[in-house]
């Protein structure tokens, strides 16, 4: 499956460009799979082996890169070697960063949901789902990406995370959570 996918994808480009695209894409996916073990929950261990060794092992290609580089003029070959090496290494870092970012969003959304479950006890039940949904979608993005209006608070009586420090939007303050800060 991996080699067939490589053949189809690389067929849309010039040979060396197609090989570069396939290798960079494979490096991004491999970086995601390999770092998934540090931030579990996205890929099952058996699927990690299947995709990492099986699919991506045949999807990426060092042999085609080597042959194509050998067939190029010396100055172009050097650029091809440097470009492939740098971009595939960058691809692994991009895959790793994606796993870390997804783990952050998952933890942030889970925490914000628990905070706003506490808040929704003060509102009528028909408002609770809307407040929860807005919290999960809006506040991790605002606090995590832009950093607007965020502060460090200690949530002592939280059921899921007792006594831990978390970065949450400044909207969650003592006037909204009396006795919880």
In a domain, 152, yes or no: yes
The whole domain housing 86 covers 2-100
Separation of alpha carbons 70 and 76, rounded Å: 10
Q: What is the pLDDT along the chain (181 residues), one digit of tens a residue?
A: 888 888 888 888 888 888 889 889 989 988 888 887 666 666 777 788 888 888 888 888 888 888 888 899 999 999 999 999 999 999 999 988 888 887 777 766 666 666 555 555 554 455 555 555 555 555 544 444 433 333 333 333 333 444 444 444 444 433 334 444 3
55-65 in b/e burial notation, b at 16+ Cβ within 10 A? bbeebbbeebb
Q: What span, in angstroms and rounded, lies between the C-alpha atoms of 150 and 13?
A: 46
**Is 57 annotated as ligand-binding?**
yes
Domain co-membership, 108 together with 65: no
Asked if residues 143 and 167 have their Cβ atoms less than 8 Å apart, the reply is yes
Query: Which of 67, 100, 133 is where one domain is finished?
Result: 100
What does the alpha-carbon distance between residue 145 and residue 141 come to, in Å, rounded to a whole number? 5
Are residues 15 and 82 part of one domain?
A: yes
Q: Of 80, 100, 120, which one is at a domain's C-terminal end?
A: 100
pLDDT of residue 100: 82
**Residues 79 and 138 grouped into a single domain:** no
- pLDDT, residue 58, reads 84
Are residues 78 and 111 both part of a single domain? no
Give domain status of residue 135, yes or no: yes
179 marked as binding residue:
no
32-43 CB burial, b ≥16 within 10 A, e <16:
bbebbeebeebb
Residues 48, 122: one domain? no
User: Residues 20, 88: one domain?
Assistant: yes
CA dist 116 and 128 (Å) reads 9
DSSP state of 139: H
Structure tokens that stand for 165 in this block: 């420090």
Task: Tell me, yes or no, if the pTM score tops 0.85.
Answer: no
95, 106: one domain? no
Last residue of a domain, one of 43, 69, 100: 100
* Residue 55 domain flag: yes
């Amino acid at each position: 499956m991996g080699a067939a996918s490589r053949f189809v994808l690389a067929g849309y480009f010039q040979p060396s460009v197609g090989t570069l695209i396939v290798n960079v894409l494979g490096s991004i996916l491999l970086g995601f799979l390999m770092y998934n073990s540090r931030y579990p929950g996205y890929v099952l261990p058996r699927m990690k082996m299947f995709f990492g060794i099986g699919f991506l092992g045949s999807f990426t290609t060092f042999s085609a890169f080597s042959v194509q580089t050998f067939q190029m003029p010396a100055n172009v070959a050097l650029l091809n070697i440097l470009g492939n090496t740098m971009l595939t290494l960058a691809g692994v870092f991009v895959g790793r960063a994606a796993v870390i970012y997804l783990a952050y969003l998952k933890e942030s959304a889970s925490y914000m949901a628990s905070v706003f479950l506490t808040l929704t006890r003060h509102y009528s039940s028909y408002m609770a789902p809307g407040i929860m949904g807005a919290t999960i979608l809006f506040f991790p993005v605002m606090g995590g990406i832009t950093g607007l209006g965020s502060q460090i608070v200690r949530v002592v009586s939280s059921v899921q995370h007792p006594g831990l420090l978390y970065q949450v939007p400044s909207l969650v303050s003592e006037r909204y959570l009396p006795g919880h800060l």
